[in-house]
Structure 1
Amino acid sequence: MGTQEEEFSARGHDKKEEKTVDNRKKGARTVDQNEKEPKTAVGKKGDKCGLKQSPMSPATPTPKGTPNKIKCEATKNEASNKGKKNNSQMEQLKDRSQMSTYGSANPKTTTHDFQWLEEYITKMPCFHGFIGREDLMCLLKNVGDYLIRISVQANRQEVEKRKKNQQDVKVLVNLSREKCAKKEKEREAKEAKLAAIGDVGRREFVISVYCKDKGTQSPNKPVYTPIRNLVIKRDNGLIHVEPLKKFKTLPEFFAHYLKNTGICKETDFQLLNPIGLSNWEFVHEDVDLQAKKLGEGAFGEVRVGKMKIKTTKKMVEVAVKMLKNSDVVTREQVSELLHEARVMRIMDHKNVLRSYGIAVVREPLYLMTELCACGALREYLDENKDTVTLAEKLSFVLGAARGVEYLHSQRTIHRDLAVRNILLSEDKTPKVSDFGLAKVTDRYEMKEKCKIPVRYLAPETLEIFIFTPKTDVFSFGCVIWEIYENGHQPHDGKNAQTIRNLTKKSQFLKLTNSAPAELRKLVGEKVFTADPENRCSMTTIVQCVENIEKPAAGAK
């Protein structure tokens, strides 16, 4: 979902304002220099610039045929610094009345105009809600294919936060998990405060269309992307995506571009074929949300639900991850949920949590996954530490290892492996989950801070901030350690700096003697190593565990 600068946004051409007659020539009464100027009040909806004219300000006549306009500037008798202060206050003030079912309208679009567009567009079969730019290529494949979506604009705080994260990336490795949690709570409180004054991501309706390039390719020209994004505007009752072509109604608008071409960034576009929801896109009515809650966090909550799969028509129980309501959901949160769904959509393995789809046509946004009745592996190990067998633990290691091995075969780095992110199905099959930080690449260099506890990170990540499949292997060594320690987290009780120092000295974790000797040897020699070149692959771990003779049933 792009920002307004990234997307094509038609702007009207304002006519030059005619000069007004000098007040002094008309004999208008002036304000005494020593008289205190009253503060400018916020005007009612519909007033130009949102301001009322001060009763103490001189009336300014205008030429015939020219509508009266109230200037958004200080009067002659008002101090310049005072005028700047008022303007600054007006810029910070947001209109909460623009909030609708789909969030807040763009400030350049009036409340009435945005809601008018919303009422019509959201009922169209080609409306895909909050779908992201990254998903467009798999939906739009031929010239003339188009869909309509909502673009969430990044507010000022999100932009500043991203810049700060890029500058302070090294702070990550000095933060313990507890400090990360504390900072997260502070961030939530700040976002809630911003939401209270309306400073949340703005929404715009965007037409994404597959185009044919008009220009010729050249070495200096950026790589051509066939999809263009057109922001729908409605000014003074007229709809447009091009400045000089305006329409009274949306049916008239779509009928025109069905027969005629428009131009966007030197590219011809035409709205020929509306694309409906795909097999992995659902409307909220398709999901029967249950009262049972599975978990809750900063993002929102996870609840049990039921839904019918489009391809098989089979009813299944699902876990529904829901984002918070539209008053506080930001562009960043929407992007994170869509990214996680996108990564999960390409996975198909019994040891990787399955995604059934998303429901993002309206808020709150849903991500539907298979339901794992036994919950997280960490809680299961802790609650059943007196009864869980060594055979079960080895089975958990093998299943989880196969899941991560599959991810690596799909060129995906998980980046957040821990027993808390491994779920157990009803038959206790381990499933790797939580792909919010996953990257589909062979090597990823971290540019921004992210919430990953230091205790799971490989030495090269702590030093040069890179992630590869080999860093996942190191983290999986911590997973094996956790399984044999009944869910206890690595380096429990140690702060981040202590863990860093231990890692620099190559003083890594050691598996308990209850783990098979072959596994202890592999982890000690080929998993917990400082040099990633000497570290084994996930396939080696899988083969090692498969070759280990399982202890007798019931042994501990």
Structure 2
Amino acid sequence: MARKEFDHKVNKEMGTQEEEYSAPGTDKNDNRKEEKTSDNKKKKDEKEPRTAFAKKGDKMKPMSPNPLVTPKGTPRDSNRPKCEATKNEPSVKGKKNNSDHEPVKDRSQLSSFGSANPKTTAKDFQWLEESINKLPCFHGFIGREDLNSLLKNVGDFLIRTSVQANKQEVEKRKKNQQDVKVLVNLSREKCAKKEAKEAKMAGVGDVGRREFVISVYCRDKENPKPGKPVYTPIRNLVIKRDNGQIHVEPLKNFKTMTDFFAYYLKNTGVCKETDFQLLNPINLSTWEFVHEDIDLQPKKLGEGAFGEVRVGKMKVKTTKKTVEVAVKMLRNSDVVTREQVSELLHEARVMRMMDHKNVLRSYGIAVVKEPLYLMTELCACGALREYLRENQDTVTLADKLAFVLGAARGVEYLHSQKTIHRDLAVRNIFLTEDKTPKVSDFGLAKVTDRYEMKEQCKIPVRYLAPETLENFIFTPKTDVFSFGCVIWEIYENGHQPHDGKNAQTIRGLTKKNQFLKLTSSAPAELRKLVSEKVFTADPENRCSMTTVVQSVEKIEKPPAGAMK
């Protein structure tokens, strides 16, 4: 949308709004009212001793706004909303401390922070929510990692919702960093259910605080100095509203959103020693949708710890075709946490990069409001694990070999895109109506050739390669080992590896090089490949996924109808 159309939209939706915070006009009775108030105050002061602080619940008369004065003791670096470079979202927290006042030292310090008031009230936030949700450049819960693909020129900007980590998430992260060597014997789904139950029992009702943020593409004033961190040109400005005034810089307050955008169209602001200007509002991309674009169907495909998967219909923006999709929804918790939002967005981000017959396709996300949606292609036959278990009397050996080959091609493609899946299992492979296998679930995927765990991660031990168990290292070769477990599961009709054994036992077996063995119903060539080139202790002796694909392609197809 052109800037003129954007301005028209802002004016139409909220340009004429007058709020209850607007200063009342003076009238002839003002002085009389003031005298009565003064008399009442004198009588009250005779009865009650004066104190430096108001009682809890008392309404204090607001002080005259002095932009050069700030409460002493207010933590500048933690309690005020910050405008920061595109890195990890900071957790904006601090302690209130009523004390004397001291002047702010310089203007650059002011430009780096939001309001001196550390929190926007619920009433102000609701006003912001109602106003911002109407804007075509509001992108909802998208993360900082998505900004580089959306903001490309100086002056490009969008508005998004930032979710701060709650207390439970902060404590959990600290614990995970300490317990990096703790491994689990549960699937990620079961771990998520366990954590949700523990949080509920602990009575943790705290949710991460929401903030509205303007992300804008800027040009740095100075060249980066040696030794200083290199930031992207994108800055993030927290929108605040207190006492009816909107601002991202403490010295510049506006009564309406119209005034706010009009000012920054013609004038520059300062954030982190960088000038910014709001020139070009960026609308939703081809992979971003509003909830009204998705026609949810009653049919439920599955349910997990934090959400469910439903059938839906939507029109693809690029082709204008209406397609049936699987809609993954985060809706089982009252309000989604920062961790849940990050994982869904990460999965969607990885899926957008992929385009292969044997990799589950993403159609986009709808995250302007809750519940958050991730739309993927619909696989009519569901997860391969359930399909194998429910149809073990009818699935032929030819079918199983086709499942192995299709899934192997999908993983080979991921590795060609410099991506490690890290959670390969038949539960994460889906089948289309024509039984084409599709590798899915990229919540743990990493776009790299090598990844070292820095904190505890909920990956079941039964699928891990020896070097991962020993050194917490993930590479394409660790995916190859995990894929050997996938092959084993396919020929065992969906049964999980090392069923009934605990994590310590499985780890001990792996250390002794006592790996899984394929059933005799698997082709001899495949059994040899897995035992000699897949299940190896030394990753240097392990083959690549390309070798797996090429080897399976050479295996003669079993006779039609052969079951064992």
The one-letter amino acid paired with 1:355 is S
- In the other structure, the counterpart of 1:113 is 124
Larger deviation, residues 185-194 vs 496-505: 185-194
CA distance in 2, matches of 1:343, 1:243: 38
Q: SS of the counterpart of 2:341? A: helix
| Residue 177 (structure 1) aligned with residue 214 (structure 2) | no
- In the other structure, the counterpart of 1:313 is 320
CA distance in 2, matches of 1:452, 1:161: 16
Larger deviation, residues 383-392 vs 324-333: 324-333
In the TM superposition, 1:82-121 aligns within 5 A as: 108-121=119-132
- In the other structure, the counterpart of 2:149 is 138
| Residue 484 (structure 1) aligned with residue 491 (structure 2) | yes
The one-letter amino acid paired with 1:314 is K
CA distance in 2, matches of 1:445, 1:548: 35
The one-letter amino acid paired with 1:147 is L
CA distance in 1, matches of 2:161, 2:428: 31
Decide whether aligned partners of structure 1 residues 296 and 325 sit closer, same or farther in structure 2, where only a CA change above 3 A counts.
closer
- In the other structure, the counterpart of 1:379 is 386
1:284 is aligned, of 261, 272, 291, to 291
1:271 is aligned, of 253, 261, 278, to 278
Q: Is the 8 A contact 2:305 2:332 kept in 1?
A: no
CA distance in 2, matches of 1:271, 1:537: 49
Decide whether aligned partners of structure 1 residues 30 and 131 sit closer, same or farther in structure 2, where only a CA change above 3 A counts.
closer
Query: What's the CA shift string for 1:398-436, capped at 9, x where partnerless?
Result: 000000000000000000000010000000000000000
Q: Give the C-alpha shift of residue 120 in structure 1.
A: 1.2
CA distance in 2, matches of 1:176, 1:157: 23
Q: Is the 8 A contact 1:147 1:207 kept in 2?
A: yes
Q: Give the C-alpha shift of residue 29 in structure 1.
A: 6.6
Q: Is the 8 A contact 1:377 1:420 kept in 2?
A: yes
CA distance in 2, matches of 1:206, 1:195: 30
Q: Is the 8 A contact 2:306 2:332 kept in 1?
A: no
In the TM superposition, 1:297-446 aligns within 5 A as: 297-324=304-331, 327-446=334-453
CA distance in 1, matches of 2:249, 2:49: 45
Query: What's the CA shift string for 1:109-158, capped at 9, x where partnerless?
Result: 11221111111111111000001000000000000000000000112221
Q: SS of the counterpart of 2:182? A: helix
Q: SS of the counterpart of 1:206? A: strand
CA distance in 2, matches of 1:496, 1:205: 43
Q: Give the C-alpha shift of residue 325 in structure 1.
A: 6.0
Task: Give the gaps of 5 or more residues in structure 2.
Answer: 1-41, 65-70, 72-93, 98-116
Task: Give the gaps of 5 or more residues in structure 1.
Answer: 1-22, 32-39, 50-61, 65-70, 72-87, 92-105
Query: What's the CA shift string for 1:25-52, capped at 9, x where partnerless?
Result: x876779xxxxxxxx99638xx359xxx
Decide whether aligned partners of structure 1 residues 476 and 283 sit closer, same or farther in structure 2, where only a CA change above 3 A counts.
same
Q: Give the C-alpha shift of residue 184 in structure 1.
A: 4.0
Q: Give the C-alpha shift of residue 448 in structure 1.
A: 1.8
CA distance in 2, matches of 1:307, 1:27: 70
Q: TM-score, normalised by structure 2?
A: 0.79
The one-letter amino acid paired with 1:177 is L
Identity %: 80
Larger deviation, residues 489-498 vs 331-340: 489-498
Q: TM-score, normalised by structure 1?
A: 0.81
The one-letter amino acid paired with 1:387 is T
Q: Is the 8 A contact 1:305 1:318 kept in 2?
A: yes
Q: Is the 8 A contact 2:189 2:304 kept in 1?
A: no
Q: Is the 8 A contact 2:489 2:496 kept in 1?
A: yes
Q: Is the 8 A contact 2:366 2:374 kept in 1?
A: yes
The one-letter amino acid paired with 1:275 is I
Query: What's the CA shift string for 1:267-326, capped at 9, x where partnerless?
Result: 010000000000000000000001110000112100000000000010100000000267
Decide whether aligned partners of structure 1 residues 472 and 498 sit closer, same or farther in structure 2, where only a CA change above 3 A counts.
same
Q: Give the C-alpha shift of residue 194 in structure 1.
A: 7.2
Decide whether aligned partners of structure 1 residues 109 and 378 sit closer, same or farther in structure 2, where only a CA change above 3 A counts.
same
Decide whether aligned partners of structure 1 residues 368 and 29 sit closer, same or farther in structure 2, where only a CA change above 3 A counts.
closer
Decide whether aligned partners of structure 1 residues 63 and 346 sit closer, same or farther in structure 2, where only a CA change above 3 A counts.
closer
Q: SS of the counterpart of 1:522? A: helix
- In the other structure, the counterpart of 2:137 is 126
Q: SS of the counterpart of 2:235? A: strand
- In the other structure, the counterpart of 1:80 is none
Q: Is the 8 A contact 1:291 1:303 kept in 2?
A: yes
CA distance in 2, matches of 1:506, 1:307: 49
The one-letter amino acid paired with 1:450 is C
Q: SS of the counterpart of 1:521? A: helix
- In the other structure, the counterpart of 1:8 is none
Q: SS of the counterpart of 1:166? A: helix
Decide whether aligned partners of structure 1 residues 537 and 236 sit closer, same or farther in structure 2, where only a CA change above 3 A counts.
same
In the TM superposition, 1:38-117 aligns within 5 A as: 43=57, 47-48=59-60, 108-117=119-128
Decide whether aligned partners of structure 1 residues 290 and 182 sit closer, same or farther in structure 2, where only a CA change above 3 A counts.
closer
Q: Give the C-alpha shift of residue 183 in structure 1.
A: 5.7
Q: Give the C-alpha shift of residue 169 in structure 1.
A: 1.2
Decide whether aligned partners of structure 1 residues 263 and 486 sit closer, same or farther in structure 2, where only a CA change above 3 A counts.
same
CA distance in 2, matches of 1:533, 1:406: 21
Q: Give the C-alpha shift of residue 167 in structure 1.
A: 0.4
Q: Give the C-alpha shift of residue 471 in structure 1.
A: 0.2
- In the other structure, the counterpart of 2:75 is none
